[in-house]
């Protein structure tokens, strides 16, 4: 877990026996590929993005101040790109492939048995950035100063980057509570998935 949390340039690599390890998401282009390569035929995916949640598309756009993004905001976008966007793309591609395979004749479907046809994706019901916004004050003082120096003049501007840096007990507890709540909401689907009744 320490190695997986070691974001390069932000957290130090973690030594395991004679080698140092950092978070693989920076280099790994596909989060799902290793599981497919090992022969998984079902995928249970726990996301960290609310991108797949229903959105209020009919709501009018809020007026926001037009200004160049700060370095803190850019850092947040870069981290999102490395840790979230690839997974979202993987999931979309997998769903498209499974949909195409289901439309094939039965004899052709047998040629694609290596792709899982069963997936269950659980995404948080709340935006993690919004939760991080409430716990920025629990960051160590030097980290807060660094983020503000990078142009994060308000907590809203640094909440995306902060969500990757917040390992404080208060924020972690809020995430665990949200995860438990969301799992309970999806309890029947999760049980059915693991019992093979999907």
Tens-place pLDDT, residues 110-153: 777 666 668 888 888 888 888 888 888 888 787 777 777 766 55
Q: Are 17 and 34 in contact (CB under 8 A)?
A: no
Does a structural domain hold residue 15? Answer: no
Helix then strand then coil, in percent of the chain rounded to 5, is 55, 10, 40
Does a structural domain hold residue 174? Answer: yes
pLDDT at 69: 67
Average pLDDT of the segment spanning 30-58: 70
Residue 16 per-residue DSSP state: E
Q: Are 117 and 98 in contact (CB under 8 A)?
A: yes
Taking the C-alpha atoms of residue 40 and residue 36, their distance in angstroms, rounded to an integer, is 5
Does a structural domain hold residue 132? Answer: yes
pLDDT at 144: 73
Question: Is residue 178 pLDDT above 80, yes or no?
Answer: yes
Does a structural domain hold residue 99? Answer: yes
Q: Are 73 and 152 in contact (CB under 8 A)?
A: yes
Taking the C-alpha atoms of residue 176 and residue 145, their distance in angstroms, rounded to an integer, is 27
Does a structural domain hold residue 75? Answer: yes
**Higher pLDDT residue, 43 or 61?**
43
Residue 193 — left, alpha, or beta (φ > 0 → left; ψ -120 to 50 → alpha)? alpha
Does a structural domain hold residue 3? Answer: no
Average pLDDT of the segment spanning 164-183: 89
Number of domains in the chain: 1
pLDDT at 57: 37
Range of the domain at 186: 31-51+70-195
pLDDT at 80: 62
Give the 3-state secondary structure of residue 122.
strand
What are the pLDDT digits (tens) for 89-112?
A: 777 888 888 888 878 888 887 777
pLDDT at 85: 58
Does a structural domain hold residue 84? Answer: yes
Give the 3-state secondary structure of residue 118.
strand
Predicted confidence band of residue 187 (pLDDT cuts 50, 70, 90): very high
pLDDT at 56: 43
What is the value of pTM for the model shown? 0.66
Does a structural domain hold residue 168? Answer: yes
**Higher pLDDT residue, 184 or 59?**
184
Mean of the per-residue pLDDT values for the chain?
A: 76
Average pLDDT of the segment spanning 33-47: 83
């Amino acid at each position: 877990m320490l190695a997986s949390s070691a974001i390069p340039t932000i957290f130090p690599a973690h030594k395991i026996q004679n080698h140092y390890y950092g978070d693989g998401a920076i280099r790994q282009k596909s989060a799902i590929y290793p599981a497919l390569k090992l022969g998984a035929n079902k995928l249970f995916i726990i996301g960290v993005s609310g991108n797949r949640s229903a959105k209020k598309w009919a709501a009018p756009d809020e007026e926001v101040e037009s200004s160049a993004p700060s370095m803190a905001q850019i850092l947040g976008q870069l981290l999102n790109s490395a840790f979230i966007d690839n997974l979202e793309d993987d999931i979309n591609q997998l769903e498209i492939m499974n949909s195409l395979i289901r439309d094939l004749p039965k004899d052709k479907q047998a040629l694609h048995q290596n792709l899982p046809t069963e997936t269950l994706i659980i995404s948080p019901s709340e935006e993690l950035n919004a939760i991080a916004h409430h716990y920025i004050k629990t960051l160590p003082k030097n980290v807060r100063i660094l983020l503000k120096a990078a142009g994060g003049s308000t907590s809203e501007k640094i909440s995306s980057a902060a969500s990757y840096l917040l390992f404080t007990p208060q924020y972690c507890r809020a995430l665990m509570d949200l995860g438990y709540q969301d799992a309970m909401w999806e309890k029947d689907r999760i049980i059915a998935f693991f019992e093979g009744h999907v």
